Structure 1
Amino acid sequence: MTFTDRRDQFFISAEELAILDTVRILDVRFTPDQGAQVAEFEREHIPGAVFVDLPSTLAGVQDGTSGRLPLPEVEVLRQALEGWGISDGDGIVVYDDRHGITAARAWWTLTWAGLRGVRVLDGGFSHWKRLGLPVESGTSPTVPRGTATVTPGALRHLDADETQAFPPPGVLVDARGRDQYEGGQGDDGRPTGGHIPGAVNLPTTSNLDDNGLLKPASVLSEQYGALGIDGSAPVATYCGGGIAASHQALVLATLGVDAALFVGSWSAWTADPSRPVATGTKHHTLRG
């Protein structure tokens, strides 16, 4: 397969964003351990940005085996888009302070919901500040209510059953760190971590260079090609809670590869004790 380079369709540079005045900018700073980082937003953010509470608007309510960040309810998302001032046809830029990894979940959810033209700020807020670009403080600005239409289903996603039945010729990519993927043994002698049987491992951070910017398409295509991703078989990706894997799906989209997202990811998989778990490195580089 000849990979394409479509990054301009999905990413925007800080330099380009700095001279645009016709896009809606969403700040989606969030970490699993600290939650939505509204205090950081109010301290400083890109001028004109609106803060987005990712778990309450871009994800739904958890149930027993849904995982940490299930898909949002359509009406909740529609009302949130209205409040952010987004209408059909608007250009949208999403950013975070994790080099685009968290913002990728916003890209995935909004694109799944039928919005077009959503792009992620390459390098995130830290790169924006590194370049000395302007910032402002305070709460989200008051914006006219938007009229965006929500039509879910534009991107493919899997549940746990579909992931377990993922066809063996396909490639299932685990986007977590290698230690989490391999698993081990806790102090109590019980196994910890591990991965979905048959999954290969490529940490999401492998998509980024030392400055937190997206690597060149030639490098990305080589590292994904080494996993057996060549367009001849389906691809799916998962992580811990559905954030890092969204970045894998986003990066694969820049290469012209349509990857399904296991939204619930490891948090949904392990919520069901009947699901099998593999450990070790047997499938580290190539699906078994």
Structure 2
Amino acid sequence: MRIDLISLFPEFVAQCAAFGVVGRAGERGLLSLYGWNPRDYAEGNYRRVDERPFGGGPGMVMLIEPLRAAIRAARAADPAPARVIYMSPQGARLDQAKVRELAGHERMILLCGRYEGVDERLIQAEVDEEISIGDYVLSGGELAAAVIVDAVARLQEGALGDAESAVQDSFEDGLLDCPHYTRPVEHELGSVPAVLMSGNHAHIAKWRRQQSLGRTWQRRPDLLDEAALSKADRKLLDAYRAELTAGQAGQGDQAAPETVSSADPASGSGKTPG
């Protein structure tokens, strides 16, 4: 996958992409990141890329021509078609479904604004879609672009050491991830749930599914409203709720209630569409 970045600070995103999973994806040739600075395409001694907005008001607005020239240079650098995405608080909210969609593209051009934004005419003429990473304002689009680069890079085939890692992530099946534990078994902060050490993979899968359902119910009930839960899922969730109500799980979901029973036929391997 090739990602071209239109930014006054392309090195910022490049540095973010140099580490961990994203860095390894680049080393393996699964992801290529190229930066294009619109100041390199600006005219005049000062290479201005911004100007005061018409109508008055505070701040500056990024000019059309330097941005358009940078976008066109990025398009011409590779024959593959590229979708131009503007990082904007006015855009559609980024979620895992959108990340999966973006990860399937051969190329993307990410446009990062600064100041008060970008001349609307440039957006109308050159941008295919606008994406927001949340309902807040950043100093520029670089952090948002780095989020997209990280999210799509880890979904490239071969980027992760174990492909199942991506499948089990939060939001991949429309739910939050289950809790995870590692050594030691006993610690002053608590013990590892016994089911995880049982060796019974069916029970472990069922427990994890139940924890995922319960954690989503507690922390992001809006996701459950959108999920098409199976009868087995509802049974697991009802058992989770009942144990919390009875006070057997301690405080909140921190104690990870062990409600799965060997007599319960519900399967934990099913996936719930998001």
TM-score norm. by structure 2 comes to 0.24
Q: Which has the higher contact order (CA 8 A, sep 6+)?
A: 1
Task: Point out the structure with the larger helix share.
Answer: 2
TM-score norm. by structure 1 comes to 0.23
Bigger Rg, structure 1 or 2: 2
